[in-house]
Structure 1
Amino acid sequence: MGEITKFYGITVKIFFTGYNPPHFQALYDDTLGIFKIDTLEMVEGDLTDIAQSLVKEWAEKYKTDLMEMWDSKTLKKLPPLE
């Protein structure tokens, strides 16, 4: 699992093997959210509504990059939410 970015105390990471559908993880303090790349829906986890909103705002900007990473299994750093 590799770190993609960090912002406002949230760390975004991605797994490439053994998991479908394409997704990424966001960690904030002791909470975790797993988000589908295509819909940005949190499908598992306990992130607060505010943290979910920040993650979705960031992911909307980089949805294409996230899918390209998933498809190519190539990790790259992305800019944080500003």
Structure 2
Amino acid sequence: MPEISLFYGIRVTMYYSDHNPPHFHVEYAGRKALIDIENGCVLNGALPGRQLKLVLAWCEIHKDELMQNWELSKDAKPLNRINPLI
């Protein structure tokens, strides 16, 4: 599960050959969530409120890059790093 970004203690990963809808995984302080890329919402799990807001803002900013990585993951190609939220 490649790490594609890391910011404010939030680790963002994406699995190869994962199920639809397009999403990514986030982890913060032992809490985990799956985030829908297209709709910018939580599919499963939970994060603390502040960290969730940061992740959803980051998702909106990098939606195109996340979708490119999703397509790369479907073809089992190396994923691109995405700039952290600063």
- Report the TM-score, using the length of structure 1 for normalisation: 0.93
Rounded to whole Å, the distance in 1 between the matches of 2:31 and 2:18 is: 22
SS in structure 2 at match of 1:76: coil
Q: Answer yes or no: is 1:5 the counterpart of 2:5.
A: yes
Partner of 1:27: 27
4+ runs of 1 displaced by more than 2 Å?
none
Q: CA RMSD in A?
A: 1.0
The Cα offsets for residues 20-66 of structure 1, whole Å up to 9 and x where unpaired, read as: 11100110011001001100111111211111100011111110010
Q: Answer yes or no: is 1:42 the counterpart of 2:42.
A: yes
Identify unmatched segments of 5+ residues in structure 1.
none
Identify unmatched segments of 5+ residues in structure 2.
none
- Report the TM-score, using the length of structure 2 for normalisation: 0.89
Alignment: residue pair count: 82
